[in-house]
Amino acid sequence: MTFRSSTAAPQRAATTQRIDVARELLLTPFGLDEGHLASALAEIRAHQVDDADLYFQYTRSEGWSLEEGIVKTGSFSIDQGVGVRAVSGEKTAFAYSDDISQASLLDAARTVRAISSVAQAGRVRVPAKKVATSRSLYQGVDPIASLDSTAKVALLERLEQRARAKDPRVAQVMAGLASEYDVVLVARADGTLAADVRPLVRLSITVIAEHNGRREMGSAGGGGRFGLAYFDDALLGKYVDEAVHAALVNLESRPAPAGEMTVVLGSGWPGILLHEAVGHGLEGDFNRKGSSAFSGRIGQRVAAKGVTVLDDGTIADRRGSLNVDDEGHASQRNVLIEDGILKGYIQDSLNARLMGVAPTGNGRRESYAHIPMPRMTNTYMLGGDKDPQEIIGSIKKGLYASNFGGGQVDITSGKFVFSASEAYWVENGKIQYPVKGATIVGSGPESLKKVTMIGNDMRLDSGVGTCGKEGQSVPVGVGQPTLRIEGLTVGGTA
């Protein structure tokens, strides 16, 4: 007797539907079909290459911004094109064009195959077509069409009015609304065909509060892979509360103390520290080249017991999630560190092949004009068993950082620097006062070993993250529970 998953048939149907959408947008209008794609790939494979793919993309984007009580700017753009790649050993040849046509496709294919000067002997065999396995994590809606222009403007105005009504000290409000409809089609040299239809929305608000000549800022927002109806009145109220609260807290802040101390990180967005200080160091390319602090350490203890870190591209509707990655592989839930032991890295196809492992669904690129590389999706730490208040209450003297701004990391050493956008000084388990200008400095691998308490409040961020690497930006998610870490260096203003 054969048993089949009850979700298999709907997933197959959704995969076929996405391929149909991509075909209608990216092939049919330009007189192309899958036979033309096979011909272009055969041109590349006429030379001895290890891998090759075609990446077609259609992206429609819209943005609105409000400042000084009025919507001052609106933008709309359409971009489309194809990237053609050939890989031989560690070398990659890449060409791209915004002209989607048979002629430009073949021209690009002949250009990139020059990466190998060795011609294949005999006739090149055309591989059998196969549709890539895929997921169905979000609806293929066009978020731009989910609200008309009048409603979008009204949404931003409503956000601004609520923020000003919240507190008389609110002096300025800035808000932005962004929507994107992204359709990709991937054809690989092994005959694999994959497609995805990716909606993406983001709403942000920044509040400037002023009192007695002092001005401070607070921000909030969120989004994900769905339509604009997600931003209902209750959610607008939540964003306003968070942004105004942060600005007013900062109005009362004092200079941050400096020195080595216990630091408690809040849940959710503070996971950006985990993303930067640890996540990048677990990307396959850095580890293949031996340039990561985690290189060659699989199976070794790299963190305290209880620390489990995942990169998971399979969470429904999340900003960092993908039905398939930009090489046509289904996204996965990858356990990177389990109970403190390093289990693996995140991989694209090139680095996976060279390291003798399987791709992990993390081959990502900013657009058709960029090559793929191993990138994070939604990176987070699992929760523990401690109440967050118990963790804060355990601090004799130290810092509680509930929210973060920007930061950076050196991949080779693992050293990081992060600025806290909302933080508090704690003594004898009690929050004393908010502080401003706290900068947290440390080493990602060393910090993981100094985790002494893990909260039971694991939370993902609200859907605002964008990750940069080698000039490419992609949407990501982060998350973590409340964490107590010993011996971090805080650079303050006091």
pLDDT, one tens digit per residue, over 399-430 is 999 998 877 888 888 888 889 999 999 999 99
Q: How far apart (Å, rounded) are the C-alpha atoms in residues 192 and 129?
A: 6
At 284-302, the pLDDT tens digits run 999 999 999 999 999 999 9
- What is the pLDDT, as a whole number, of residue 53? 97
At 345-397, the pLDDT tens digits run 999 999 999 999 999 999 999 999 999 999 999 999 999 999 999 999 999 99
- What is the pLDDT, as a whole number, of residue 125? 66
Q: What is the percent of the chain with per-residue pLDDT over 70, rounded to a whole number?
A: 96
- What is the pLDDT, as a whole number, of residue 121? 58
**99-111 average pLDDT score:** 96
Number of helices (H), then strands (E), belonging to the chain: the values are 10, 25
Check: CB of residue 313 under 8 Å from CB of residue 331.
yes
| Beta strands in 314-438, from DSSP E residues, in sequence order | 333-338, 341-342, 363-364, 373-374, 378-381, 397-409, 415-427, 430-436
pLDDT at 172 over 60: yes
pLDDT at 216 over 50: yes
Q: How far apart (Å, rounded) are the C-alpha atoms in residues 215 and 401?
A: 21
Q: How far apart (Å, rounded) are the C-alpha atoms in residues 400 and 429?
A: 10
**150-155 average pLDDT score:** 96
Q: How far apart (Å, rounded) are the C-alpha atoms in residues 164 and 209?
A: 10
Give the closest residue to 365 by CA, choosing from 44, 12, 33, 94: 94
Element (H, E) at 56: strand 51-67
**109-122 average pLDDT score:** 81
* 453 phi and psi angles, rounded to 5 deg: -145, 135
Check: CB of residue 15 under 8 Å from CB of residue 173.
no
Q: What pTM does this model have?
A: 0.94
CB within 8 Å of 234: residues ≥ 6 apart: none
**109-126 average pLDDT score:** 76
Q: How far apart (Å, rounded) are the C-alpha atoms in residues 294 and 291?
A: 8
What tokens were used for 222?
């969120």
- What is the pLDDT, as a whole number, of residue 127? 76
Angle between the N-to-C axes of helices 102-112 and 34-45, in degrees from 0 to 180, rounded to the nearest 10: 20
- What is the pLDDT, as a whole number, of residue 2? 38
At 13-22, the pLDDT tens digits run 888 999 999 9
What tokens were used for 227?
């339509």
- What is the pLDDT, as a whole number, of residue 8? 66
- What is the pLDDT, as a whole number, of residue 73? 93
Alpha-carbon separation of residue 44 from 54, 107, 112, 211 (angstroms) = 11, 10, 7, 65
- What is the pLDDT, as a whole number, of residue 162? 97
pLDDT at 126 over 70: no
**252-259 average pLDDT score:** 94
